[in-house]
Structures are given as C-alpha cells and as structure tokens.
Amino acid sequence: MTMTAAATGRVSRFARWRDSDLAYNFRRSPVTVVSAAVLAICLAGAIFAPWVAPHNPFDLATLNLLDALSPPQWMAGARPGYLLGTDDQGRDVLSAIMFGARISLLVGLASVIFAMVLGVSLGLIAGYVGGKLDAFIMRIADVQLSFPAILIALLIDGVARAVLPRETHGGPLALFVLIFAIGISNWVQYARTVRGSTLVEKNKEYIQAARVIGIRPLGIMRHHLLPNVLGPVLVLATINIATAIITEATLSFLGVGVPPTQPSLGTLIRIGNDFLFSGEWWITIFPGAALVIMVLAINLLGDWLRDALNPRLQ
Amino acid sequence: MLAFIIRRILQSFAVMAVVAFIAFALFNFTGDPVTFMVGQDATQEERARLRSDLGLDLPFYVQFGRFVGRAIQGDFGLSLRQGRKVSTLLKERLPATLELAFVAAVLALVLGVPAGVYTALRRDSWLSQLLLAISLIGVSLPTFLIGILLILVFAVVLGWLPSFGRGDTVALGWWTTGFLTKSGLKALILPAITLSLFQMTLIMRLVRAEMLEVLRTDYIKFARARGLTDRTVHFGHALKNTLVPVITITGLQLGAIIAFAIITETVFQWPGMGLLFIQAVSFADVPVMAAYLCFIALVFVLINLIVDLLYYAVDPRLRIERLAAAQ
C-alpha cells in the first residue's frame, strides 16, 4: 500500500513537471533544447573526464613525444588516436579540453555561488535593517559598479599573487584566490536585486506577523524573506556563470589565473597561442571553440529562463 | 547643489584613499626591504641606521602619509625588475595605451552609430539582420579570442598585417606616436579592431534601441505630418535626441576601454601600460603594480566624477528630485 503510494507519488511528480508551463515552454523552443543538449554533453564530458577522455594529459607516463604536434585526424600527417591533434608535448588536445573544462566550470560555478551568497546576504541586511548600514553597503556597491567587473577581478587577483609567497602559485590556494577575486567582482548585482525585493517584501503582512510573534531579525531574513526574494537571483546566477567562465578564461589567458599544472580552457588557449605562427592552430582554436560553445549554450539557456519566468511576457 | 558636489568629491577622495592604502599595503606584504638592501654580514646597528634613514621605523600612519605625498608627485620609486623609475616607465608606456584607446573609441563611434541608425530605420533588411547577428557574436566572444582569431586570419593565413608590437614610432618630445609611420599605422589596425568590437556592438545596440523609442514619439509623428522629408525627420529630429545617452555611455566606456586594453595589449604584445602591469604581476614588481593601481583608479574616479557632475548640470530633473527629497 505504501509502496504504491510512493510509486504514484514519484510518477505524478514527474508528470507534473512534464505538464508544467516551464517544460512546455522548453519543448516549444528548439534553440533552447539544442543548447540544453550541448550543455549536457559539455557537462558530462567535463565531469566524467577522467573516465571518458581518450587519454590522461597529466599522466606523464602515457605521453609520447613522437606524437607531439600531430594535426587533427582529418588532416594529412595525423597520428592515429588523437581526434583533435596533440600539443608540443604530445598531449591529446581533446582530453586536455575535457580536463580543462572541468577546471573552468568548477571555478565558474564556485565563484558564482560565492558571489551569490555574499550579495544575497548583504542585500538582505541592507534592505531589512536599512538606515546607515544600508547606505554604507549600497554606497560601496555604487562605487564598485563604476569599475568593470573584469578589471576588479584582475586587480584583486594580481594583488593577491604579489602578496602571497611564490610557492603557493601552483597549489590549490591559487584556485581559491581566483574564485574569491571573480566572486568579489560580481556580488553587486545580487545585492541590488535582493535589496529591491526585500524593501517590497518587508512591509507585507506575513513579515509583520513574524515580527509580532517575536522571531529575531536573522530568523526572519533566513526563513521568511530569503525564499521570497530568491527567484530573480537564480536567473541572474545562470547568466553570471557564463560571465564568470569568461572572466576565468581571460585571467588564465593573461597568466594570472589558474596554475599551469591544472590548465583551464583559458590556460590551454594561452599555451596554444605560442604555436599559432608555426601553423599549429588546433592547439589554441579548439579550446577556444569549446569555451565559446559552452558560454553560448549557458547564455541562451539563461535568456530562455529569464523570459520563461517573467510573468509579464506570458 | 553645492552639498551634492562636495559629497561627490569627498566620495572620490575616499575611493582614492582606499586604493592608495591597498597600494601602500602591497609594499609591506612583500617582505622587509632592508634585508634586500644590506649584505648578509651587516650588523644590527647598520640595519637600524638604514631603517631610520628610509623612515621605516616611523609609525605606520606617518609612512602612509609620506607614501601618499610622494604618490601625488608621481614618485613611486624604482621598478624592482628594470631598476628604473616607475614614473618614467609609465610615461614611456602611456602614449601607446592612449593612442590605442583613442583609435578604438573613434572606431566604435564612427562605425557603431551609423550601424545603429541603419538597423533602426531598416529593421527588416538582410543587412540589419546580419549586423545584429554579428553584434551577438561580438558580445559573446571574449576579447582575447577575437584578438587570436584576427591574428590567425590576417597575420598568419593572409600575412597582411603585423601581429605584435607598435611598428616604428616617431618621438614628439616625450610622446612617441605610431600615427606618422606606415608600419605604426599597420600595427594599430588589429589591436584597435579587437579593442573596439565590444564597444561598437554596445553603441550600435544602444543607438538602435533609442532610435526605435524616439521614432514612436508624438513629435516625430508631428514632424512627419508637417511634411518634412524622411531625412530631416530621421537625422534632424530623431538622431539628435538619441545622442545624449550615447554620449554619456561613451564617456563612461572610456575607462572601460583603458581597462580592457590590458587584455588587448597582452594578446598583441602592444607596449602599453596594461602589458606593463601584467608583466609586473608575474614578476611581483610591486612599485609598478602600485603605480598602475593608483593610475587606473584615478582615471575611473575622474571620469565618473565628471560624468556625474555634467549630468547634474544638464538634467534639471535631478535637481528637483533632490529638492523634493530634502523637504
């Protein structure tokens, strides 16, 4: 009896999702379906890279210098087994892209989450507490908004690299610094959005009721305000993942991003850039193409989500 | 009015103070300079004497005050890597960055505004669709990839244009210019296009949106009813009214162009200030980094201050709102 109830519950939940407006909207837009499929392939390739990649580019034992600088399979002189060719050390470009996308996605996601947590908290506090604190937080936000985000990330990252001892540049600390820098450069949008909706929500009756029964401000913010201001934030976050990935790639291309021992897509492009003139274009163009495809798919999905969730367009 | 201006200027000073403090802190984090300067066998007294000669034994805030005083005079000390004065290095690199930024800004305006007007007036033509599609690519491609693609096509495959450096330059006093030589102009083309592409698409989209908005207003209908020619209506009435926001945004984007020049300069090995900064970061050349940090902050703070004040002077609504808020 309970078994069937659980089973029907599960089925009906799936059915409910399948028949929802959002899913209907999704099926109706071929561009969205294609970008979702492309993104799913990219994600799968990146997440399962250690198992599905044809080679392990970091396992020095499997590298063969005789295979170095082999062009892609469809060109003359290609060595077998390397679909998109190899770089100067005989590393398979396709595998390097899959492992690189892993780092790019990791940094992109982590920095967006960091920016979101920071921005939402500050926005909630500014909106709910108000007064001097609000003025202070929003003034900082205004000032930061007058600088381009990528410049702020670059300056923070650059300063941090100069401050930290040299031996840490290759370690995981460099990744944290990068995530921190990109996150800090992006919190303002979240704070502004959340503050705006908090100002509207906090005068509604359910918040006043919560206040009357004696819930502390922190509890109100966490359990009552947060769920009601989170909608637009999630849309913003989707689009920001693409921006964060581009920022990461740019910083890594400039040589101040992730350590070369764990190359991201940006690092791969930087390395390949040196071979452009000797004719080995595939070392840099394929990682670049992978980056653009991934970012474009995320952007199109984000645009769709924004329109689909916007009640004014329905 | 006066209160607003004073508050706005104070805010600019606060931002500069914070940036100067970060720049100052950089020096303190990178180790004790005395250890670098004296030999292994220096006595404790020699170290102490050097320390007091350099003013390193003074309280922290006095040191900071001295740093700010010197920074205002443009003195950031010697570059650790090149052993030359930082101010000289920056002065050498400044013309390259400014020329690149200037050409990119002009290019973005000269191509962006007509493209925006065209796509607004001929909404359904194939050229409009093409321009909009290209602008979508311009927005989604990162700057450095555009640079690499341009190098691949025009420098590697076709071999038409140089891919790095500034070409030959002519010295006019302390200013070096690449505008006067053929190789200098050729070297400028690819970096300038790379740097301007994003701004160009931004301006094009902005002009298009504003034009479409203005073309719907009553005074345009009235102008048509008066029997004015399309040309007068489009360029005399509509375009004129779209240009105010365009000029504001372009002004604000000037800072962004100088910031994004860091990326373009790295791709094309253009000997400007951005490349200097990136090299300074990889060699932990603190004086150069500190100077660049202060310089770029100053550029942004000044541009924003000027735009804000101009806005306030131009737009009477802002003044009225403030009055109403004060009452």
- Interchain pair A150, B141: CB under 8 A: no
Does residue A99 lie in a domain region? yes
Q: Do both B227 and B310 map to the same domain?
A: yes
Computed over every residue of chain B, the mean pLDDT equals 80
Domain that holds residue A39: 29-46+93-309
CATH number, domain of B183, equals 1.10.3720.10
Q: Given this model, what pLDDT does residue A122 score?
A: 92
- Domain total in chain A: 1
Question: Under an 8 Å CB criterion, which residues of B touch A?
Answer: 11, 15, 22, 26, 29-30, 140-145, 148-149, 151-152, 155-156, 163, 252, 255-256, 259-260, 262-263, 266-267, 277-278, 281-282, 284, 286, 289, 293, 296, 300, 304
Does residue A19 lie in a domain region? no
Give CA separation, A164 vs A62, A156, A286, B11, in Å: 34, 12, 33, 30
Q: Do both B322 and B182 map to the same domain?
A: yes
Does residue A79 lie in a domain region? no
- Interchain pair B148, A273: CB under 8 A: yes
- The model's pTM: 0.82
Does residue A76 lie in a domain region? no
Give CA separation, B102 vs A2, A204, B98, B188, B300, in Å: 73, 52, 6, 11, 16
How many CB pairs below 8 A link A and B?
93
ipTM of the complex: 0.78
Q: Given this model, what pLDDT does residue A26 score?
A: 77
Does residue B24 lie in a domain region? yes
Alpha carbons B59 and B67: distance in angstroms, whole number: 13
Q: Given this model, what pLDDT does residue A114 score?
A: 94
In chain B, the largest separation of any two C-alpha atoms, in whole Å, equals 93
Does residue B68 lie in a domain region? yes
Does residue A198 lie in a domain region? yes
**Which DSSP letter does residue B177 get?**
E
- Interchain pair A162, B144: CB under 8 A: no
**Which DSSP letter does residue A181 get?**
H
- Chain A residue numbers with beta carbons less than 8 Å from the beta carbon of B260 are 148, 150
A135 inside 8 A of chain B by CB: no
A161 inside 8 A of chain B by CB: yes
Does residue B86 lie in a domain region? no
Q: Do both B65 and B97 map to the same domain?
A: no
Query: Residue B151 CA to chain centroid, in angstroms?
Result: 23
Does residue B304 lie in a domain region? yes
Does residue A140 lie in a domain region? yes
Instruction: Collect the ranges in chain A with pLDDT lower than 70.
Output: 1-11, 59-70, 73-83, 165-171, 310-314
B199 within 8 A of A148, measured Cβ to Cβ: no
CATH number, domain of A107, equals 1.10.3720.10
Q: Do both B25 and B126 map to the same domain?
A: no
- Interchain pair B26, A159: CB under 8 A: yes
Q: Given this model, what pLDDT does residue A1 score?
A: 40
Alpha carbons A186 and A118: distance in angstroms, whole number: 9
Alpha carbons A288 and A294: distance in angstroms, whole number: 10
- Interchain pair B262, A254: CB under 8 A: yes
- Domain total in chain B: 2
Q: Do both B41 and B125 map to the same domain?
A: no
A313 inside 8 A of chain B by CB: no
Which residue among A162, A255, A292 places its CB closest to the CB of B26?
A162
Instruction: Collect the ranges in chain B with pLDDT lower than 70.
Output: 1, 29-40, 54-55, 57, 314-327
Q: Do both B21 and B115 map to the same domain?
A: no
Q: Do both B205 and B293 map to the same domain?
A: yes
Does residue A166 lie in a domain region? yes
Domain that holds residue B11: 2-72
**Which structure tokens are listed for B35?**
């250890």
**Which DSSP letter does residue B172 get?**
E
Does residue B80 lie in a domain region? no
- Of B19, B38, B72, the domain-final residue: B72
* Residue-wise burial string across A204-231, b where 16 or more C-beta atoms lie within 10 A, e elsewhere: eeebeebeeeebeeeebbeebbbeebee
Alpha carbons B278 and B284: distance in angstroms, whole number: 10
Q: Do both B181 and B145 map to the same domain?
A: yes
Q: Given this model, what pLDDT does residue A313 score?
A: 55
Does residue B273 lie in a domain region? yes
Does residue B260 lie in a domain region? yes
Does residue B311 lie in a domain region? yes
Q: Do both B140 and B16 map to the same domain?
A: no
Q: Residue A235, Cβ neighbours under 10 Å: how many?
A: 18
Q: Given this model, what pLDDT does residue B317 score?
A: 62
- Interchain pair A159, B256: CB under 8 A: no
Q: Given this model, what pLDDT does residue A3 score?
A: 47
A238-264 tens-digit pLDDT: 888 888 998 888 888 888 877 777 788
A139 inside 8 A of chain B by CB: yes
